[in-house]
Copies of this chain bind each other. A is one copy, B any other.
């Protein structure tokens, strides 16, 4: 067990909640504990009527480098455990962000990969340092992105960029994702915190009611445009074949290679 997700109100600005991803030495890769922490943080924040805006950031110059791969051998090779991980642990945490009724700002420095990209996709506004890097090169690890998460990413960065990330393991920089419309603003490296704070303060003066209703309308729209509430999608996701790859050679090889710091051979 390593890593934490914590949150606190800004001491001098009680309307702004700061959520921090932290997993030292792993660029804040999401462990299972961190997914639980993240969900818990957003549920607590959601119950606070005084919070008007949330900022999500990573500790130590990176946002989040993906999943904590050191934990993967303990559950990813069993179909039911893998399904539970993606459909319950990860998805419920991401849903807690999507369900948040106040604006959520991502302040993105350094690596924003895989799970980090998914978390960023659940935010409303995204600031990034100029050299921040975005991708989901998990095909190098021998496994695909879970369908709901792929849908979330495709909606966030656009289908073309999602295909480049997932099918060619491309890593894109902040200016590219700004041009694409994914990033609200690109700032100097190391200035995400202060810029996110400035944006949060601006937002905290806006009508909370207007914001809440706008968020609800946009969320409802995404649910209709996207798969989340559609029977067909649910059916396809519940399809018994989705996670059958759990106990496969490529899956094991990809993760083993990463852990052994060598190139995988597929």
Contacts and interface: CB of A to CB of B under 8 A. Distances in A.
A150 interface: yes
Counted per complex, copies of this chain come to: 3
Given A211-B139, A222-B159, A224-B227, A169 B217 contact: no
Interface stretch (A26-34, A38-46, A61-69, A160-168): A160-168
Interface residues of A, number: 69
Contacts of A254: 207, 210
Contacts of A147: 217, 220-221
A177 B148 CA distance: 28
A4 to B, nearest CB: 28
A168 B225 contact: no
A75 interface: no
Contacts of A168: 103, 124-125, 184, 199, 202-203, 206
Interface stretch (A6-14, A17-25, A110-118, A228-236): A228-236
Interface string A211-223: 1011101101110
A210 B250 contact: yes
8 contacts: A125-B167, A125-B168, A142-B207, A167-B203, A167-B214, A207-B264, A210-B250, A210-B254
